[in-house]
């Protein structure tokens, strides 16, 4: 069984590759990644010598390259993680989000149609549902919640989901879609809330909280997400959407305070900055379907997962210091200076 994983040099794709090689002796993994600013070969270093693993640098939106890869590699399953993933960058410059997230998805599915596939899995996000109000804790996103995206990022992911469903209906492509809540864990790029706060706190730099820090996200340890995708590609029903989430809602400010406490840093580092444009208030997943159909439940409690994550950033300083000392500095300046 050969699985083509796109975006495997990124946060979740990288964790998924580590997970699959550990869990399945009989699977070969082919990673296709463009190596954008978010792609990092250091994330794949632990598996580079594994004979069951192969890496090819390519853009999923480049039809010729992708078709050549399918012709020579003949994958059985495709898991499409590759995407521009950061909401703030999509507000700054939406174009590349449309190209990679929508047209890239189309190219991947066209290749699957041309060369045949057992399963095409689209890694989507809870952000396609828009947001929920803070004063309605009884509301959750189910798979039947209408799509209602807020940012150029979530609109591009929602568009891709519609395209995947259209390829299922029109061409009988054997697809599945998963929509997951916020992940955290090792190899998370430091532009995102949790690793940014850990890195800044370790460097005694201000901790920039958007708005009042009241926005709520539903945090899931990345390995739990990987296990859910593994179950969906092997046992999930074709044509279906599966929500993945941890029933672990937390306000941003509480996460940041927890990180300060774990690292023994003062809360005086917290700095409230201008809010994100169109900032979604609350995400909350109802994971009943994947629980009932596939027996999936999150295994890592947030209190344990955040400790493990912080320890990983302490043990792997070179991984994130190489990033924040590179072109990331220009991004950080643009995004935060004078904010």
Out of 106, 145, 183, 243, the only residue in the binding site for ligand NAD (CB under 6 A) is 183
28 part of the interface to ligand DAU, by CB under 6 A: no
When the beta carbons of 32 and 269 are compared against ligand NAD, the nearer one is 32
Q: Which stretch binds ligand DAU (CB under 6 A): 160-168, 189-197, 297-305, 321-329?
A: 189-197
Contact (CB, 8 A) for 65 and 108 = no
Residue 10 contacts ligand NAD per CB under 6 A: yes
Q: Specify whether the CB–CB gap between 180 and 221 falls below 8 A.
A: no
Residue 283 contacts which entry, ligand NAD, ligand DAU, none (Cβ below 5-8 A, type-dependent): ligand DAU
Based on the shown chain and the rule CB under 6 A, indicate whether residue 86 belongs to the binding site for ligand DAU: yes
The three-point CA angle 66-72-77 to 5° equals: 70
Toward ligand DAU, which CB reaches closer, 196 or 324? 196
Among 5, 61, 258, 306, binds ligand NAD (CB under 6 A): 61
**Nearest residue to ligand DAU, using CB?**
125
| Widest pairwise Cα distance in the chain | 57
Q: Which of 17, 18, 33, 193 binds ligand NAD (CB under 6 A)?
A: 33
Q: Measured from the CB atom, is 189 or 242 closer to ligand NAD?
A: 189
Angle between helices 328-336 and 317-324 (to 10 degrees): 70
Structure tokens at 199: 């890195």
Q: Does 197 bind ligand NAD (CB under 6 A)?
A: no
The DSSP line for 66-132 is: HHHHHHHH--SEEEE--S---HHHHHH--HHHIIIIIIHHHHHHHHHHHH--SEEEEEEEGGGG--B
Task: Provide the pairing of β-strand 28-33 with 2-6.
Answer: parallel
| Residue 159 is a binding residue for ligand DAU (CB under 6 A) | no
Q: Output the smallest distance, CB 336 to ligand NAD, in A.
A: 19
295 torsion bin: left (phi>0), alpha (psi -120 to 50), beta (else):
left
* Residue 117, C-beta contacts closer than 8 angstroms, at least 6 positions apart: 75, 76, 77, 78, 173, 174
- For position 130 contacting ligand NAD by CB under 6 A, the verdict is no
> Annotated catalytic sites, by residue?
126-127, 153
Residues of this chain that bind ligand NAD (CB under 6 A): 6-7, 9-13, 33-36, 38-39, 59-61, 81-85, 100, 104, 123, 125, 157, 180, 182-183, 189
């Amino acid at each position: 069984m050969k699985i083509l994983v796109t975006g495997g040099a990124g946060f979740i794709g990288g964790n998924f590759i580590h997970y699959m090689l550990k869990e399945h002796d009989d699977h070969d993994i082919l990673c296709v990644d463009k190596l954008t600013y978010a792609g990092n070969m250091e994330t794949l270093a632990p598996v580079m010598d594994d004979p069951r693993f192969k890496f090819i640098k390519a853009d999923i939106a480049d039809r010729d390259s992708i078709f050549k890869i399918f012709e020579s590699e003949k994958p059985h399953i495709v898991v499409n993680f590759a995407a521009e993933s950061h909401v703030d960058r999509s507000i700054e410059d939406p174009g590349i989000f449309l190209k990679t997230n929508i047209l890239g998805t189309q190219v991947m599915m066209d290749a699957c149609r041309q060369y045949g596939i057992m399963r095409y899995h689209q890694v989507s996000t809870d952000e396609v549902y828009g947001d929920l109000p803070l004063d309605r804790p009884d509301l959750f996103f189910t798979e039947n919640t209408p799509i209602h995206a807020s940012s150029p990022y979530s609109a591009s992911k929602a568009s891709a989901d519609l395209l995947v469903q259209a390829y299922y209906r029109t061409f009988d492509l054997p697809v599945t879609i998963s929509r997951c809540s916020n992940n955290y864990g090792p190899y998370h790029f430091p532009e995102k809330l949790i690793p940014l706060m850990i890195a800044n706190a370790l460097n005694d730099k201000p901790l920039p909280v958007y708005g009042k820090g009241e926005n709520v996200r539903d945090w899931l340890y990345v390995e739990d997400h990987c296990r859910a995708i593994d179950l969906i590609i092997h046992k999930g029903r074709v044509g279906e959407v599966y929500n993945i989430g941890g029933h672990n809602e937390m306000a941003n400010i509480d996460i940041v305070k927890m990180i300060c406490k774990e690292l023994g840093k003062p809360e005086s580092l917290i700095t409230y900055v201008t809010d994100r444009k169109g900032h979604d208030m609350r995400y909350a997943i109802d994971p009943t379907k994947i629980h009932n159909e596939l027996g999936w439940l999150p295994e890592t409690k947030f209190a344990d997962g955040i400790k493990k994550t912080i320890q990983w950033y302490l043990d792997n300083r070179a991984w994130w210091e190489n990033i924040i000392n590179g072109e990331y500095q220009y991004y950080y300046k643009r995004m935060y200076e004078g904010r």
